[in-house]
Structure 1
Amino acid sequence: MAKNRFHDGAGPSQRQLRVGELIRRTLSEVLARGDVHDPDLNRLSITVGEVRTSPDLRVATAFVLPLGGKGQDEVLGLLARNKAELRRLVAKKLTLKFSPELRFRLDETFDRMDDTRRMFDQAAVRRDLDQ
């Protein structure tokens, strides 16, 4: 039985990274142009920070964040509601054997960066770094 690459400590393959980036760019373009037939979704600016694919490329998880970080739950709901159309639009632009199932998660990268900055601003941490 083949091992799952995510469970043996290895990172994603070059193919997964390449396909994830292609999907990220395509999904970003589709959302920016307002190609979806949902006016509620089209009125929002959504950043697609990263797309991670499963080893078999059948599932793509897009990490998204609304502009300004406001209305995160609404954005996830709208994307989920329109995921079939988004999948079709992305698949039409890419030449993949399978159209991956799209999943959406909040991109927490910026929150983690803010937490890290706050940690480095603490007097005790600065003192330890200066030594």
Structure 2
Amino acid sequence: MVKKATTSAPSQRMLRVGERVRHEISALLARGEIIDPLLETVTITVPEVRMTPDLKLANVYVMPLGGGDAEEVAAALNAHAKFIRGRVTPALGLKYAPQFRFFVDDTFDEFGRIDAILRSDRVQRDLGPREDEDE
């Protein structure tokens, strides 16, 4: 009996369902169906949704436009998670309705940090031509 190797990479099905969930949640947020004073005043992007292998939990990463009040927006979305689940699940056609957990997407901050490191004098000095090299 051949044993299948376990990997931490998401399967094609997890990626496909995650993208469908991302699309449906984005559309729901764009329609403004959630009645919440904070959510009505911000535009929210959904850059990524990560599904668990059993497709029963969706980790939804969100970022308000401009990045302000990100933690409050994620908390408000988590407070409305059951409503969002009820609106999004019928469009997915899955056997089980996934639970949604909303998190602040920090990839933009991480990009900024890496970009600042790459632009630093120390790194630029290492990337430039060496003094002992002939051109």
Please indicate, yes or no, whether the TM-score normalized by the shorter chain is above 0.5.
yes
Matched with 1:93 is 91
Aligned mates of 2:119, 2:43 — CA distance in 1: 31
Q: Alignment partner of 1:50: what SS?
A: strand
Query: Is contact 1:58-1:98 (8 Å) kept?
Result: yes
Of residues 44, 66, 86 in structure 1, which corresponds to 2:42?
44
What is the CA deviation profile of residues 55-97 of structure 1, one whole-angstrom value per residue up to 9, with x for unaligned ones? Answer: 0000000010111000112101210110000011110221111
Query: In the alignment, residue 47 of structure 1 is paired with which amino acid?
Result: T
Q: Alignment partner of 2:39: what SS?
A: helix
Matched with 1:66 is 64
Aligned mates of 2:127, 2:96 — CA distance in 1: 49
Aligned mates of 1:92, 1:25 — CA distance in 2: 13
Identical residues among aligned pairs (%):
42
Q: Cα RMSD between the aligned structures?
A: 1.7
Give the aligned length: 126
Whichever structure has more helix as a proportion of its residues is 1
- Which consecutive unaligned segments of at least 5 residues does structure 1 have? none
- Which consecutive unaligned segments of at least 5 residues does structure 2 have? 130-135
Query: In the alignment, residue 94 of structure 2 is paired with which amino acid?
Result: L
Matched with 1:105 is 103
Matched with 1:127 is 125
Query: In the alignment, residue 101 of structure 2 is paired with which amino acid?
Result: R
Aligned mates of 2:101, 2:45 — CA distance in 1: 15
Deviation at 1:9? 4.2
Under a length normalisation based on structure 2, what TM-score does the superposition of the two structures give?
0.86
What is the CA deviation profile of residues 7-64 of structure 1, one whole-angstrom value per residue up to 9, with x for unaligned ones? Answer: x543000000000000001100000111223343233211101000000000000010
Aligned mates of 2:94, 2:37 — CA distance in 1: 28
Query: Is contact 1:31-1:42 (8 Å) kept?
Result: no
